[in-house]
Amino acid sequence: MKLTIAICDDEEVQVKMISSYIELIDVEYSIEILEALNGEEMLNKVEKKRVDVAFLDVRMENMDGIELGRRIRQNNRECIIVIITGSRDYALNAFDINAFNYILKPITQSKIKKCMNDVILRLEEKQALKEKNNTFTINNKSEIVMLKYEEILYFEKLMNKIRIHTIREKYEYYGTLKKLKKELDMGKNFIQCHQGYIVSISRISQLREGQIYIRDTEELVPVSRRYKAEIRKTLEENLFR
């Protein structure tokens, strides 16, 4: 398997350092490294490429690492993003692009090695998950629909029905949230955010002002005070896992 790794920092010494540390790691993958000193240069390099991992400095002129990560994700939705920062204060900004991890400067070989080991583990977990092909089955009288977890945005309770919001369309079936929670992988792939809503964790873009912003859509899901702390904790655990 080939890994394409993007490294962007406005300090050339940092780019070269990260690149050299990655090359020293013994992995069972062929690695291509794309280097850039600013966001526009990196976007030009990744325009027609699949990027698996991106190491991005959070503070750069004109385009910071958060914005660059967001734009890389437009064509590389599965890209694992690692934020490089000089301060922990910037770490929570990584929520906005669902960053996998962050590394505090100064950069060291041990930090990069540990991060890459975690990245490779995540890639292997993703592959295993795809192979397992997690699905949710709707069994109505008129049809049977099998939905992959990755297609589902969130579940909404409507009286005695459940409406499933997916990437392409909506589905409804008779059921209860209580039974639904027993059928889903709660806590890992899905989390309840309101008495009438269960949302896909991977689809959460932001948690702000009592609402969840659903990634890659204009949809908002309400969050009740009862579930707010649990959701924030889950997001933090997934961000830095």
**126 and 141 co-located in one domain:** no
Instruction: Judge residue 15's burial from the number of C-beta atoms within 10 Å of its C-beta, 0-12 exposed, 13-18 middle, 19 or more buried.
Output: buried
pLDDT on residue 45: 94
Neighbours of 137 (CB within 10 A): 10
Tokens of 34: 């794309």
Asked if residue 191 and residue 127 are part of one domain, the reply reads no
What is the rounded CA–CA span in Å between residue 133 and residue 195? 28
Whether residues 120 and 146 fall in one domain = no
Q: Is the dihedral of CA 27, 29, 35, 39 positive or negative?
A: negative
Same domain, 70 and 29: yes
Domain boundary among 131, 150, 166: 131
Which amino acid would we find at residue 87? S
β-strands 211-214, 220-222 pairing: antiparallel
Alpha helices in the chain, H assignment, sequence order:
12-23, 39-46, 65-75, 109-132, 177-183, 225-239
What digits encode the pLDDT tens for the residues 65-95?
Answer: 999 999 998 888 889 999 998 877 665 666 6
| Both structure tokens of 209 | 């002002």
CATH of the domain at 52: 3.40.50.2300
Q: Could you tell me if 7 and 100 lie in one domain?
A: yes
Q: Average pLDDT per run of 10 along the chain, which is 241 residues long?
A: 92 96 90 96 91 94 92 88 82 70 92 94 79 76 84 95 94 91 84 95 88 90 92 74 47
Residue 155 and residue 235 in one domain: yes
The count of structural domains within the chain is 2
- Segments forming the whole domain that contains residue 85: 2-131
Last residue of a domain, one of 85, 103, 131: 131
- Ramachandran category for residue 48: left, alpha or beta (phi over 0 → left; psi -120 to 50 → alpha): alpha
What pLDDT score was predicted for residue 89?
67
Tokens standing for residue 47? 């325009």
Digit-coded pLDDT (tens) for 2-33: 899 999 999 999 999 999 999 999 888 899 99
Do 62 and 103 fall into the same domain?
yes
End residue of a domain, out of 131, 147, 172: 131
- The HSE-up count of residue 120 (CA atoms within 13 Å, CB side) is 17
